[in-house]
Every structure is written in structure tokens, then in C-alpha cells.
Amino acid sequence: MMVNTIEAKAGGVATPLGYRAAGVSAGIKANGGLDLALLVSETPATASAVFTVNRAQAAPVLVSREHLERSGGVARAVIVNSGCANACTGEGGLAAAYEMAAETARLAGCAVDQVLVASTGVIGVALPMDRIRAGLPIAFGALGADQGSAAARAIMTTDPSPKEAAVTVDIDGRTVTIGGMAKGSGMIEPMMATMLAFVTTDAAVPRPLLDRALRDAVNDTFNAITVDGECSTNDCVMLLANGASGASVDETTYDRFVHALKTVCLTLALGIVRGGEGATKVMTITVTGASSDEEARRAAKAIANSPLVKTAVHGGDPNWGRLIAVAGRAGVDFELSRAAVMIGSTVLFKDGRPHDEAAPQAAQYLKGRDISLSVNLGAGGASSTVWTCDLSAEYVRINADYRT
């Protein structure tokens, strides 16, 4: 059915035409859970990716960067393992990432540089390639257009649930589908990106437009979330476009396509925040009154990453002073006499004066699971919104016990 608006659709990364996915257990995880995901396009797809800015980059990041450059932005398959990050593992780790790509290419019948690789899990542990080798044929045997959910489960680490999304959008009279999956729960502040995400579309998109679309989408979604302010070693977002729908994206349809792409990416990004380690609340942080978009984003991220703000929200304490203090030390233009703080729709500070009589109303609002915090810097007209979660004792427990 042709649609004139963006419509949510059940499914995920294998929902667009011409893709198959699989998720199997290769024995990488000690608990025997799904830990090897495979995504294959039936035809060569135009590919784009963004990667972590952490300088301690994992072997799969280095290999995928190289393959995208060598192939000119073409991909047939993506192979992903969880349970081992293959990061800080020296030449042996790099050799393992290359072998993952080579074995996948052999089974897919494509050039090795048309395979992208990703890994997630504990840093500094050697990838068990014997298990990858044994698991890959099983993954290929399990490939199906209806196996996206298995792939989404196979890329999880501490995630409490899989994250999938899909939408349809009309492009020049044809129905285009965009789908995706993501993982991420802790070690999350995208400065990309900070997690793994894989997005597919059955539209044909020239590489320059695909690169632009991915960056536009990531900036307002994955790069606008944070769980704990930590940038990982393995993080990436990969986008494949295979043209199987017969629709083509050009400058005239670019905005419609990007809007649909952002819808998928934001759903996945908010899923990461909602599933943050130990999270009980999702927080929407909106900063207004900034002197520039960049300063608005910087202040919003500072607020979102503040342990004092996150613990106050967790405890239901309407402590507006913590929000003002963070805004004042965020390194951006700030005018206290014109600043304002709102929790939900309740004004707690405005024009240099507290409104503590409204604190009980704000405290009641903080009992909910979806919390909105707003800060006006009083310095201009720019704004930015980011999303984060609260900080609980469970976050400390999870990360204290992560290796032991």
C-alpha cells in the first residue's frame, strides 16, 4: 500500500526488501545466549557509517573503515558478535577482525571489502575465532527476512531488551521501507556514536546523499543521547541502501527520506536510553536561550551527564539548584538574571528568583517514568534537546560486577 506519510511498521533491520538476517549462538557468551548476528543484502548496497571518536578504536572499527574506503561505499554483509569487544587486543585482534570479514565474504560469495564487521562486549579479551568459524555457517543457514528480531537479540550485552524499528514512506509513488536494530545500555555517550546500530533501506541512495543523510540523522538522534557520559571503543552506526523498492532518493526527495530515517534512529536511540543500565526514568533535557546551537547542545549534555541531576531525578527531588549550577559551569554563555528552570510544566526558578512554593507539584511529577527538564540560559535564541536516564544504585552494581 502506498503511503503519503511516514508510518510505523512492525519489524526491524530485515524488514526492507532484499535483506535477510540471522542471530545464533556461537558459544562466545558464557551463558550460551545468542551472540552472532548476520545481515545480508541480496544485491550490493550503497553503504555509509559513522564511528566512535575514541582514539582507542577496536579492531572491527579499523577494518570496517578500511573496507568502506576500499569498496567505495559498497556492502553486501555485516557480521556482528557480542560477548567480546575485540578491542585493545593488538595484532591478533586485527587479524581476527579481518578473518571474520573474509569468512563472511566466502560464505556470501562477495568481495571481502564488501563485508563490514562489528563487535561488542568486554574490552581486552581475545576473540574466540574457532567459535566464530563454527558459528558463521550456522548463521548463514538461519538467514531469513523474518529473522531480524533474532539478530537484534544476538547483538545485546547488558541490554534488558532488543531494540528494533521500521517505517514506510512514499518516495515518488513507491513505498520505501527503513528498518534498524541497535544495542547499547551502558558506556553510552555518542560522539559519533556510542553503541552499535544497523539501519537498512530498500531505496536507492547515491553515496554522497547517503553519507549526508546518516550524519543528519545521527546528529539529532544517537548523538543526542547519553546514559553515563562514557564513549566506547567499538561504537558505530551503519546504513545500507540496496534500491530493491525501485525508488530513488535525490535532492527533491532527500528531506522526506531523512525525516523517515530520523524517525527510525530516534526510536532506536530512545530505546537505548530507556534500557540504560539501572535506569528507571527517561529524561528529556531541553536547553533554550543559548547563544548558538552548539552551546545549547553542550549545556544540555552537561546537564544530562550530571550525576547530581540524575540522582535527584531518581530520588524524586525537585532540586532546581543542581540544574542552574550545571548550566553555569557548562562553559557557555549564561545570564543568571534571565535564566529559568522548569521541571515538567512547573517553573521553579525564573529571572533570578526561586519559586520553591511549586516544589511539591514538581516532586509529584518526578514520580513518573518520563521526565522533562527545561533550562533557559538567558543568553540568546538557540536551543537543543537531548535524552538521558536517571542514575540508580543498580547502575553501580552492574558496572562493579561487569567482569567479575
Annotated active-site positions, please?
Answer: 194
Cell of 309: 541531576
CB 93 within 8 A of CB 126: yes
CB 118 within 8 A of CB 236: yes
Measure the CA–CA gap between 194 and 296, rounded to whole angstroms. 20
Residue 280 is classified by DSSP as -
Q: For the chain, give me the number of helices (H) and strands (E)?
A: 11, 15
Residue 233 is classified by DSSP as S
The angle, 0 to 180 degrees and rounded to 10, between the axes of the packed helices 129-142 and 90-108 is: 20
Cα maximum dimension of the chain: 69
Residue 72 is classified by DSSP as T
* Strands of the 382-389 sheet, one edge to the other: 353-354, 346-350, 340-343, 370-376, 282-290, 382-389
Quick one: 305 exposed, middle or buried, by C-beta within 10 A (0-12, 13-18, 19+)? buried
The count of other CB atoms within 10 Å of the CB of residue 308 is 16
